[in-house]
Structure 1
């Protein structure tokens, strides 16, 4: 056990030293005027010339607000440019300008020299050991982080019915998500708040229900079935949203399964939902659950023009999907 502790402390000490020697403790990095985070943004844009801000945030494990600030600074300084995504006009692709490419080339030269100077102090076998060891260690850290993320899903509770703070949290999650993805503003946020509030007054009806995903006593997701909003025995799936930190854990599938089971018990003939083109992760989830895209049309009722999508899932009342 003592050997393991000694090894752990040796690695921690060496990691701190490496961070210092590489310059990550300073406010700028690689002989530039940019922070380490901004340098990483530039390097990833070079590697992925059509990357989006959301993809950058996920790749660099940074908050989207932080990524947004970094991108704005790089745009203002002429290092990068934005272009409209061909498949989805609401998304922006990022790429380097000529100025940005020159800067990144300089960053590469700086970083390569750091490595070369250090490796010159080592024998060939030691150089190979460093390359293999640091790669193994980096991958092990990543695997641990991903396992922690997956383990979080095991501590998610699905709560049925109204819960304190639910109206505000649903409104907040929708407002933030759709501002980023569709530039929806004040009108959309007020509409969500009013509609959710009105619906909460009706969840005493047997055909209506709402669920929230709870982690550490905080609401991190929601979904609802409105059985009175549509005609012909169809249910309306509404307010399906997850906190960005909890996506990719299977929580969305858990919430969706709750609604499908509920609709079976209420003997609805079908369940319908409306969403927007470009939300590909949600679209895959709907399709996997048996929803079919039946209509697409341009709409501007939310203050910004988007392509609205209408999905329907027919229900077999004798068998739960």
Structure 2
């Protein structure tokens, strides 16, 4: 029975990046009105991850329940900040909201970053993403700065969050 199946977490494997891009594109279009440029950004992020993947410093985790996608997250080396990692592409399937999947995915990143010897983790999110912001704050991230931008067909308030490890 699917509802009693536990959520499991694994590293990425072939085919996962296409699912990540598709899920982000559909979810953010349907729920926030983001246009196709957001999906294109997700495709670039996943392609860059695969092209430059350093397993000593980076990870992508997939959450599943009964082999069904429940969520994802990436931790990548920040090319602009010394010894800093970045969280990318956190997404929790609507059917898994409130089950701690997002919290666990973020904690996977924090734990891995500490083990890899990073000094800090940064991330960029949007002020409208209340659930994600709550997860980041609960994990110990602090809002560093904000910036208005007109991306993905909308006026948005971008937020840069940081955690010192």
TM-score (norm 2): 0.91
Report Cα offsets for 1:50-101 as digits up to 9, x if no partner: xxxxxxxxxxxxxxxxxxxxxxxxxxxxxxxxxxxxxxxxxxxxxxxxxxxx
1:158 aligned onto 2:15 = no
Asked if 1 retains the 8 angstrom alpha-carbon contact of 2:36 and 2:152, the reply is no
Distance, in Å, in 1 between the alignment partners of 2:80 and 2:95 is: 33
Q: Which residue of 1 aligns with 2:107?
A: 257
Q: CA RMSD in A?
A: 1.7
Distance, in Å, in 1 between the alignment partners of 2:70 and 2:113 is: 23
Shift in Å, 1:228: 4.1
Q: How does 1:1-321 map onto structure 2 within 5 Å?
A: 151-152=4-5, 155-160=6-11, 162-315=12-165
Shift in Å, 1:198: 1.9
Three-state SS of the structure 2 residue aligned to 1:230 is: coil
Report Cα offsets for 1:275-298 as digits up to 9, x if no partner: 111221211111111000111121
Report Cα offsets for 1:7-37 as digits up to 9, x if no partner: xxxxxxxxxxxxxxxxxxxxxxxxxxxxxxx
More displaced 10-residue stretch of structure 1: 282-291 or 178-187: 178-187
Distance, in Å, in 1 between the alignment partners of 2:152 and 2:69 is: 25
Q: Which has the higher contact order (CA 8 A, sep 6+)?
A: 2
Asked if 2 retains the 8 angstrom alpha-carbon contact of 1:208 and 1:228, the reply is no
Distance, in Å, in 2 between the alignment partners of 1:178 and 1:251 is: 18
Distance, in Å, in 2 between the alignment partners of 1:269 and 1:201 is: 24
Three-state SS of the structure 2 residue aligned to 1:248 is: coil
Structure with greater helix share of residues: 1
Three-state SS of the structure 1 residue aligned to 2:111 is: helix
Report Cα offsets for 1:112-159 as digits up to 9, x if no partner: xxxxxxxxxxxxxxxxxxxxxxxxxxxxxxxxxxxx96x45xx11100
Gaps of 5+ in 1: 1-147, 316-321
Distance, in Å, in 1 between the alignment partners of 2:149 and 2:119 is: 27
Shift in Å, 1:180: 2.8
Gaps of 5+ in 2: none
TM-score (norm 1): 0.48
